[in-house]
Amino acid sequence: MKAVRYHSYGGSDVLVYEEADRPVPDVGQVVVQVAGTSYNDADSGLRAGLRQDMLALAFPHIPGLDLAGVVTAIGEGVSGWRVGDAVVALLPADAPGAAAEYVAVSAEALASAPRTVELADAAALPLVGLTAWQALFEHADLKPGQSILINGAGSAVGGYAVQLAAQTGAIVTATAGARSRDRVRSYGADRIVDYAVTPVVQALAGRHFDVVLQLAPAGPEENAQLVDLVADGGAFVSVTTPGPQDAGRGVRAVHVFGRSDVTQLAELVARVEAGELVIEVAERLPLADLAAVHARAAGRFARIAELAAQVEGGDLAERLRADPAALRAPAAAGELAGKTVLAP
């Protein structure tokens, strides 16, 4: 089969579209013929080796955390799934990913795919949808009638967060630029702040929110300013760089990493099928273009990594200094905007 693999940590140029062995299901696994995967910045972090102290990969490694596809083979001990079932999943980061024609995956990681969208497009749901759900409901404990500021609402996670928060009955203030403003408003935001016109903290001076959800890359100073917008006893939840460890005033500062949860994923799928949750796909590309997608995201990801190193220091900062080429954006690489789905 064809797959995208990398044989060592490094920049986007380590990604190679090549022949690989087609997987067979182990006990408790199924093999899925991949209809689509999608790019996440987490894929770049793994490829660059920035978290190898926490999660070391075996090479060659196939990237692609998000999976949408059709079951083609079933291993021993699997029940509840049949050949031909359309499924979605968030794959373990250290396992072979979905940037291939076929992938073996634990049956326990699967949820039925939504039937109301193209199967490949469903790959734009798992990681970012689960991250939004967990940030809002597990970490922020968002309730109807509460106020929330979603900073970076035009991002992939932000689109789901705005929809889910509005459906919960929260009062949603969202930051968005001209490119995403209308889309964010259509998702149910009550107020849009155009960060390109007025700095967010300045535009919202004097306002306080039960929850501030930080989805935009930021350094320690900007995060501290956003924490000031959290009401006493509220929550500052960040998906990018962590907030201050001691925010004071009873404010909880939480750093979120999305994780697989089949029950939550099934609920997201149900909302998609009910027409309550929109899957937004910015572009659809062949899997062979994955290295180019990583290259286009390199500038943005390098900024995220740089800011994270400022906040966290330690091993991450050392790794950036040791291998800056892993994050360097190629000349004229362009820009990656929105969610990219790739199909074999």
Please state, in angstroms and as integers, the Cα–Cα distance from residue 303 to each residue in 96, 222, 231, following that order.
27, 14, 29
Residues 6+ apart with CB under 8 A from 55: 46, 93, 94
Conformation bin of residue 267: beta by default, left when phi > 0, alpha when psi is -120 to 50: alpha
As a whole number of angstroms, the distance between CA 253 and CA 210 comes to 12
The answer to whether 71 and 81 have CB atoms below 8 angstroms apart is yes
Looking at the predicted structure, is the pLDDT value of residue 43 above 70?
Answer: yes
pLDDT of 307 reads 72
As a whole number of angstroms, the distance between CA 152 and CA 99 comes to 27
Which of residues 293 and 330 earns the better pLDDT score? 293
CATH 3.40.50.720 fits domain 127-255: yes
Which of residues 109 and 305 earns the better pLDDT score? 109
pLDDT of 28 reads 98
Render pLDDT for 62-101 as a digit per residue (tens, 0 to 9). Answer: 999 999 999 999 999 999 999 999 999 999 999 999 999 9
- Alpha helix stretches (DSSP H) within 175-289: 181-186, 200-203, 220-227, 262-273
Which of residues 337 and 120 earns the better pLDDT score? 120
pLDDT of 174 reads 97
pLDDT of 4 reads 98
Render pLDDT for 197-218 as a digit per residue (tens, 0 to 9). Answer: 988 999 999 999 999 999 998 8
pLDDT of 290 reads 97
Looking at the predicted structure, is the pLDDT value of residue 322 above 70?
Answer: no
**CA angle 176–179–180, rounded 5-degree value:** 45
pLDDT of 311 reads 61
pTM of the model: 0.93
As a whole number of angstroms, the distance between CA 292 and CA 329 comes to 11
Render pLDDT for 21-38 as a digit per residue (tens, 0 to 9). Answer: 999 999 999 999 999 999
Render pLDDT for 123-134 as a digit per residue (tens, 0 to 9). Answer: 999 999 999 999
Q: Would you kindly state where each structural domain of the chain is located, as residue ranges?
A: 2-124+280-343, 127-255
pLDDT band at 314 (very low <50, low <70, confident <90, very high): low
Homologous superfamily (CATH) of 2-124+280-343 is Medium-chain alcohol dehydrogenases, catalytic domain (3.90.180.10)
Looking at the predicted structure, is the pLDDT value of residue 331 above 70?
Answer: no
